[in-house]
């Protein structure tokens, strides 16, 4: 599996993570703020919500929890302090780049295989150490990183939503099924003769047969209302795929 990396745009240098994160949290804040008066926030007894002003733009943040441990390093790499592995990521939150004689954090591209390519800057890094050598050197680090998208909107050409749309076709989860996939001898016997439940290890193959790629098996399960593949007996209904799906 490809590792998460940060590509520094100015230099082309790539900084790889030791392990991929278990979770990736993406949040979006719209460009609005509460309307205020010179004396404070405007309120009204008849209003259910504070009045909002649309300011434009917005903010998209990605939060990653990353693990670094010197015992997990390949044999040919030697380190005595885990900060030898994390200091370059810390530098991404420093004013280490210079643009028009002003220092600022460097522009980087967050890369994870073909699924994630997001331009932005690292705005916050926090590190917790929980294992130490006898001289006090930290050996394991839990690093939490906040990455803020900068540049093109997600749905414009070059944005991550636009790039995702080029790879994966849209799926209409509310349309009648276009076809069906038989689930025969592909999973665990379910008690009835000739019936079988879905083998989770083959979900990617079902997605490949239904949509032409192995990545949309979650949509296939959602369309069929399947929470647990082991409790489902086929066939699988396949939703409509095409330009008109939303």
Backbone angles phi, psi at 203, to 5 degrees: -60, -40
Secondary-structure percent of the chain, ordered helix, strand, coil, rounded to 5: 15, 40, 45
Give mean pLDDT, residues 186-214: 67
% pLDDT > 90, the chain: 33
Question: Helix (H, G, I), strand (E, B), or coil: what is residue 217?
Answer: helix
Find the angle CA(233)-CA(237)-CA(240) to the nearest 5 degrees: 165
CB 232 within 8 A of CB 200: no
Helices (H), the chain: 83-91, 160-167, 203-211, 217-223
Tens of pLDDT along 121-140? 999 999 999 999 999 999 99
Flag whether pLDDT at 45 surpasses 50.
yes
Give the C-alpha separation, 160 to 120, whole Å: 12
The arithmetic mean of pLDDT across residues 35-48, rounded, is 62
Mean of pLDDT over the chain? 81
Tally of CB atoms within 10 A around 207: 21
Its pTM stands at: 0.63
Q: Which residue has the higher pLDDT, 170 or 17?
A: 17
In whole angstroms, what is the distance from residue 20 CA to residue 116 CA? Answer: 13
Tokens 């703020």 locate to: 33
Place of tokens 């082309």: 12
């Amino acid at each position: 599996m490809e590792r998460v990396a940060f590509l520094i745009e100015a230099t082309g240098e790539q900084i790889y993570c030791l392990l991929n994160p278990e979770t990736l949290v993406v949040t979006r804040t719209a460009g609005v703020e509460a309307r205020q008066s010179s004396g404070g926030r405007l309120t009204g007894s008849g209003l259910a919500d504070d009045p909002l002003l649309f300011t434009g733009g917005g903010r998209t943040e990605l939060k990653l929890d990353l693990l670094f441990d010197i015992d997990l390093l390949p044999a040919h790499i030697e380190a005595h302090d885990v900060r030898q592995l994390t200091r370059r990521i810390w530098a991404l939150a420093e004013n280490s780049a210079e643009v028009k004689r002003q220092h600022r954090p460097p522009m980087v591209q967050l890369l994870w295989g073909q699924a994630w390519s997001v331009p932005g800057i690292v705005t916050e890094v926090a590190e917790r150490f929980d294992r130490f050598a006898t001289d006090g050197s930290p050996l394991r680090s839990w690093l939490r990183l906040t990455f803020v998208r900068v540049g093109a909107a997600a749905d414009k050409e070059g944005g991550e939503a636009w790039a995702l749309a080029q790879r994966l076709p849209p799926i209409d989860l509310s349309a009648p099924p276009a076809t069906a996939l038989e689930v025969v001898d592909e999973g665990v016997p379910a008690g009835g003769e000739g019936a079988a439940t879905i083998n989770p290890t083959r979900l990617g193959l079902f997605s490949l047969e239904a949509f032409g790629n192995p990545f949309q098996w979650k949509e296939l399960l959602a369309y069929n209302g399947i929470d647990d593949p082991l409790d489902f007996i086929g066939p699988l209904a396949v939703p409509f795929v095409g330009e008109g799906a939303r």
